[in-house]
Copies of this chain bind each other. A is one copy, B any other.
Amino acid sequence: MYGLIGKLKAVPGQRDALISILLDGVSGMPGCLSYIVAQDPADADAIWITEAWDSRASHEASLSLPSVQAAIAKGRPLIAGFEQRIETSPVGGHGIGTTA
A residues sitting closer than 8 Å to B (CB atoms) are 1, 3, 5, 19, 23, 26-27, 29, 32-42, 48, 50, 52, 86-97
CB A14 to nearest CB in B, in angstroms, measures 15
Number of copies of chain A assembled together:
2
**A88→B88 CA distance, assembly (Å):** 19
Residue among A40, A52, A88, A89 with max Cβ neighbours from chain B (10 Å):
A88
Q: DSSP class of A's interface residues: helix, strand, loop or mixed?
A: strand
Residue among A1, A38, A96 with max Cβ neighbours from chain B (10 Å):
A38
Decide if A93 touches B3 in the complex (CB within 8 Å).
no
Decide if B91 touches A39 in the complex (CB within 8 Å).
yes
Decide if A36 touches B95 in the complex (CB within 8 Å).
yes
The answer, among B39, B88, B95, for a CB contact under 8 Å with A40, is: B88
